[in-house]
Chains A and B, each alone.
Chain A
């Protein structure tokens, strides 16, 4: 009788563990590796489906696009999503472009904002943050920067990101500063249109996101709309 009673309690405990795991985003992780989640869900259902759950952790993800394609909005959104489980994130903002009011007050406390004065200091900052460990995502915002980043830097940062199980999101114009083949996922943001109310009030900027390349997965997929 007591053995059956214990079996029931074990089953209940397992079920409770499964439910809690689902709540905190560990569902679907391989057993024995629950403390190292593999993806960060983006909140865009179509993108998560295309990336098999979200942005891969421990990898470099590249996001490029033209002006007004929504790169800052996407960056802030992804940083906010990454902090949801309680891990902090970091924004290494080389061009000092963040308007803090674009982040929810609760998210501001969880995002480390670093404004390095040069590309070299930016790469060193990312290296330091990845070395600290425990960050879910580090976004390196290079929009407007034309300085070339050497391949050796991407190689080192890729290794650091893998060790820290941190997603390194590199946001730029897609030129010489892009991580290229070091990125496990390459995303391209495109501008669709601006929505105006009565030709006076700018309501929203609509864009679309394309998965240009994904290591070990399918190639270019269908555009995914975001914004207004």
Chain B
């Protein structure tokens, strides 16, 4: 079994810089404390120590292990943050998406992810080339990694500790490789480490010479595993896991954003990160849920429909802008969280002679804007509902077929007539003579009846909202032809429409 381990450098820091790349150019130090809300710590507690810092912070004298107060004393301009569970979870998911685009069998852990390299290496020139490919995929999602390839999980993990590069441990050379590893880098408990010091064991080569079975009896399984790892042996098998099904990115804001442009600026970075992750999985955004924690402690959550799955960030931003502009948040915004609904990209096969219809992304955006303008029930393809209720209407989602209609254009005449429906119908009064309408008065429409047809009676839906309707076709003296209705349930006359 050959395995590659992809290690993320300083995951806690990378979780931030992945969606805020300009942080790498700022003096920033992370303290060993979990942070909830806000992009900076409001106060530093005693004993909180720096676990990682950026290069500009190091240049100012900040070092890992300093307390927060020491860091501030060394460099007052350094920004202090805690580590974020949400950001680290998203970074791990991004890593899995990235390495999952190279190999299907992956397993994650706190430091990174293992990838089954056995079959994959055959698809590349060498195991080194595969490792380079994995590093490139991780860089695509904004993570700086190093990769180790070996025959066991533990050795691959140790090999990946070589910073900024790729290390391949050939099969059968694991023990020799581990002999060069410093003992301090070996994973083991403090008790066993101090015992080794008392025994005078100060190299991995010496550790490998110890009997693993007796060590297990004396110091426990963890110590025995360290001895076996020193011998280049790790029996743990790869346990492949499913790739993340949730695509979510979030960022906290220091200030209360009440300007749409400021929100969209922050949102763009999140969408960039999301779209890159989705691209690794050959997916697109089929819908979004935008959650905005407000200063008033209320969560503004809005579902944004995307008519056609897309990875175009500009389109997604326009959709978000439409929503935020039409319904602004009721208070200042303290953060953003975007959850994308993953959908396969719709393949569009254009014919050689097909006319250039609207581009799917532009059509989706237009439908979204129209919906925001006139309402969702007033935009779409017209639908005649399956009911006898007079003049019932509905709309379906508009997704026109691209293929031309079959056959050459017909030359049939204009339809005999079409109805211009009055919604709502207008109140009317009629004069009935000999069972027929003789005079119609509906406000602007009034006059003697020249010809009259009907009644055409329909009724139904007695189990729900019943209707009982009579329709009359009426031609007035001025030549106008109208549809007059009689609501039998309420006993009133209505002007339903005009034939046009």
Contact = CB atoms under 8 A, between A and B. Distances in A.
Interface of A: 20-21, 23-26, 35, 37, 41, 43-45, 66-77, 81, 83-88, 95-103, 105-106, 108-117, 121, 124-125, 128-129, 131-136, 143, 191, 193-194, 196, 199-205, 226-228
Contact of B420 (A41, A129, A135, A143): A143
B415 A114 contact: no
Contacts of B362: 132-134
B400 A102 contact: no
A72 B409 contact: no
Interface residues of B, number: 64
A125 to B, nearest CB: 6
Nearest to B379: A114
A54 to B, nearest CB: 10
Contacts of A67: 480, 498, 500
B220 to A, nearest CB: 68
Contacts of B394: 100
A95 B423 CA distance: 8
Contact of B421 (A98, A203, A227): A98
Nearest to B415: A73
Given A134-B363, A143-B420, A202-B481, A116 B374 contact: yes
The winner among B365, B414, B423 for most chain A CB atoms within 10 A is B414
Contacts of A88: 357-358, 398, 400
A204 B416 contact: yes
Contacts of A74: 414
A96 B380 contact: no
Contacts of B419: 72, 99, 102
A100 B383 contact: yes
A113 B373 contact: no
10 contacts: A70-B500, A85-B355, A88-B357, A88-B398, A115-B378, A129-B370, A133-B359, A135-B358, A205-B499, A226-B414
Given A109-B400, A191-B479, 13 more contacts: A43-B414, A71-B500, A72-B418, A84-B404, A88-B398, A100-B394, A102-B419, A116-B374, A129-B366, A129-B370, A133-B359, A199-B452, A200-B454
Given A108-B381, A132-B362, A70 B398 contact: no
B242 interface: no
Given A86-B402, A132-B358, A134-B358, A68 B480 contact: yes
A107 to B, nearest CB: 9
A106 B405 CA distance: 9
B356 A97 contact: no
A135 B356 CA distance: 9
A99 B366 contact: no
A155 B369 CA distance: 22
Given A43-B412, A100-B383, A134-B357, A83 B405 contact: yes
Interface string B267-300: 0000000000000000000000000000000000
A132 to B, nearest CB: 4
B366 A131 contact: yes
Contacts of A21: 353
Interface in B409-435: 409-423
A68 B373 CA distance: 31
B435 to A, nearest CB: 12
The winner among A25, A66, A115 for most chain B CB atoms within 10 A is A115
Contacts of A73: 414-418, 500
B421 A97 contact: yes
B382 interface: yes
Contacts of A37: 355
B382 A205 contact: no
B355 A136 contact: yes
A134 B367 CA distance: 14
